[in-house]
Amino acid sequence: MASIPLLIGLRYTRAKRRNHFISFISLTSMLGMTLGVAVLILVLSVMNGFDRELRQRILGMVPHLAIKNYQDFSSWESVAESLGERPGVAGVAPFVNGQGMLMHRGNHRGALVSGILPEWEPQVSIIGEHLEGTQLDALQPGDYGIIIGDLLARFLRVQAGDQVTLLLPEASITPAGVFPRLKRFTVLGTFKVGAELDGNLAYVHLQDMQTLMRTGDSIEGLRLRLDDLFQAPRMARELVNELGHPYRGQDWTQTQGNLFQAIQMEKRMIGLLLLIIVAVAAFNIVSTLVMVVTDKQADIAILRTLGASPATIMGIFMVQGLTIGVFGTIVGVGLGILLALNVSDLVLWIEGLFGIQFLDASVYFISYLPSELRFDDVRFITLAALSLSLLSTLYPAWRASRIQPADALRYD
């Protein structure tokens, strides 16, 4: 008796109905569920891909954690050595930053100029992997060479070998009066990471920046790269407590956190909107089952006369509705995973076929459509689709269980 709802429900699903409109609505519900689940998996995977690219590019250039000393930081080597030996710290490098304006033949642009040591910087930054026309070793103390972002170079209309003037907001007092601090640099090359940093960041040698900022042998702070960037706030608190005054910590969530929070919020909102599409497809099952119940009233009355309980009748139509939902979900999950794993190649094929480019490298930070399939997203989407399918079967199945045999067979 326990298998009767399953057997009859599956039989109703396979049977060719006399009412073709019911069959059409069932097929539409199944296709809607399939497309909704597939699109939801695909879109969330693409957003995961963009999130990964931004994290690797921006947080590859921005320090996960910076330890600063606003007094004298001349003996930074010993501090850097102790921090580098700490578990969870993957790299340490010194820096001196300065906000200024770069100028070239009437073109000017504000920029953050970072003084670095070429032999230390690769420990904390991916800058060495994105250089064009030069190497970090080209930064030599006293030569006043500068490496600028690709977008910044286009703003200033400069190329390797040109000279740019750096204007710092600090004033210099001379016998002739007070003048802003100026220094001419030679452009050694550019870098391109495909992010906003390309338009407002430049690198010079640490000693050149110390000379300009008049800090002597002192540095502004130490950049740290962590094994797990999400541990940066906790590590910042622990390191500052150990080092004590006058050290201060600044992690990436304070400088770039808003950007990644916005990406996560956008992912949630788009996921919610697409989940509504899945819900609409799931609740099409309601209309399908309502029409099936109306069409099968005589069968329901006969089953009740033979001794079937209301729970058995309810189970029959729940099985029929869940069959539509489960089949649509399984096909949708398979299609979504297939598209998510191959969307980059598929977009490249479409671009080549029609001679178009969806993501222009001169406009966007990447020229391809990234995708990262995550099991947690697939699991959530599958459970949500199945849950919505189950909820959609409850009302029609309950209505079927309330049908009285005498009323159903009165005119048959």
What single string gives the DSSP state of each residue in 73-109?
A: ---HHHHHHHHHTSTTEEEEEEEEEEEEEEEETTEEE
pLDDT higher than 70, residue 20? no
pLDDT tens digit string along 67-81?
998 788 888 998 899
Cβ–Cβ contacts within 10 Å for residue 135, how many?
12
User: ∠ CA(79), CA(82), CA(86), 5° rounding?
Assistant: 135
pLDDT higher than 60, residue 2? no
357-367 average pLDDT score: 65
Strand (E) or helix (H) holding 250: strand 247-251
269-293: burial string, b at 16+ Cβ within 10 Å, e else: eebeebbebbbebbbbbbbbbbbbb
Decide: helix, strand or coil at residue 170.
Answer: strand
CA distance 370 to 343: 8
CA distance 310 to 325: 23
Query: What is the distance of C-alpha 12 from the center of its chain?
Result: 44
Cβ–Cβ contacts within 10 Å for residue 357, how many?
15
Of 171-175, 299-303, 329-333, least confident by mean pLDDT is 171-175
Q: Peptide bond before 246: cis, by omega within 30 degrees of 0? A: yes
Q: Specify the DSSP class assigned to residue 16.
A: P
Decide: helix, strand or coil at residue 363.
Answer: coil
Q: Considering the entire predicted model, what is its pTM? A: 0.70
The pair phi, psi for residue 244, each rounded to 5°, is: 75, -170
The pair phi, psi for residue 216, each rounded to 5°, is: 70, -130
State the pLDDT confidence band at 284, using cuts at 50, 70 and 90. Answer: confident
- Of residues 294 and 335, the one with the higher pLDDT is 335
305-320 average pLDDT score: 82
pLDDT tens digit string along 386-409?
998 888 888 888 888 887 776 666
Give the amino acid at 204: V
Mean pLDDT score of the chain: 83
